[in-house]
Structure 1
């Protein structure tokens, strides 16, 4: 079974209220992350027709602050599928509802896994790539996955060869005081 990215696209909008704000008067990043997790779940579940759990989140950069009174819109689509996992791409925008100005606030990739009632992984439908943008997103997900695996391997090797790297630390704001 295969589905297109269009089959599982989700979009939600929510007005940002004062109780969503931090002490600086901007919307809490944690609140936005919670909304992103919700839409990633909905998108992945819609694609897989199964309960889904968040396995990881690939880098969230907050590009622009979100103000109280702005309308936040999140757009999600399945960019990649494996056997039981999916990469859900999410774009977050905020709109000043009085001026109509829209800003891109962040984009992120949530890795979701489809599971059954016992928590065992289940196979997800394949993805039909219907345009070059969908193909580009799928390929970027593969590259990101390979890069993450390589980075994990490099970090593991760092621990094995820590003494070789200690000299590099002299250029950083750190004091080595092994006891």
Structure 2
């Protein structure tokens, strides 16, 4: 196995026609179906990079930017944005295309943290990432910052660290009624 790989070596893309069976009660493609496809392509990309079975550890922010219509082609693109020792961040972009007009829409971008496992389910060391362009450096740096921010946020809101009095002023502006004992 290589010690380092470029993100291009692990890039994966799929295109799928959205069928009526993929629709929700509103007639649009169900978000859960899109999430399932995103998880599959993140798995494929991470497994290709690590040459191992991978599991989803977390998904960072899922925003549905535009609805996807039945009959549109959906293309998902995945690339490795960050590598740690045993985990990697896979960036996933979702676009839809109206096949009669050719118009495309950006529907979603999300970041999946995937962990490589051996046959016994133990984490294994993965190849590092070769950064060969400005875009790669930007994506890696952004993933580092997202990771640090999540860690800081998690610590800040742990029960033992959380200070209620610091947030009462902010809650006064929200759609909430306080009924504290």
TM-score (norm 1): 0.95
1:90-101 matched pairs, under 5 angstroms:
90-101=92-103
**Who is 1:87 aligned against?**
89
Report the 3-state secondary structure (helix = DSSP H, G, I; strand = E; otherwise coil) of the residue aligned with 1:78.
strand
1:32-43 matched pairs, under 5 angstroms:
32-43=34-45
The C-alpha deviation readout for 1:88-118, integer Å capped at 9, x for no partner, is 0011000000110010001000000001122
Q: More deviation in 89-98 or 126-135?
A: 126-135
Asked whether 1:110 is paired with 2:112, we answer yes
The C-alpha deviation readout for 1:127-155, integer Å capped at 9, x for no partner, is 11111111111111111111111111222
Q: Tell me, in whole angstroms, the C-alpha distance in 2 between the residues paired with 1:22 and 1:159.
A: 41
Runs of 4+ aligned residues of structure 1 deviating over 6 Å after TM superposition are none
Structure 1 residue ranges without an equivalent (≥5): none
Q: Tell me, in whole angstroms, the C-alpha distance in 2 between the residues paired with 1:109 and 1:164.
A: 31
Q: Tell me, in whole angstroms, the C-alpha distance in 1 between the residues paired with 2:99 and 2:162.
A: 54
Q: Tell me, in whole angstroms, the C-alpha distance in 2 between the residues paired with 1:65 and 1:111.
A: 25
**Who is 1:119 aligned against?**
121
Count of aligned residue pairs for this structure pair:
179
Structure 2 residue ranges without an equivalent (≥5): none
Q: CA RMSD in A?
A: 1.4
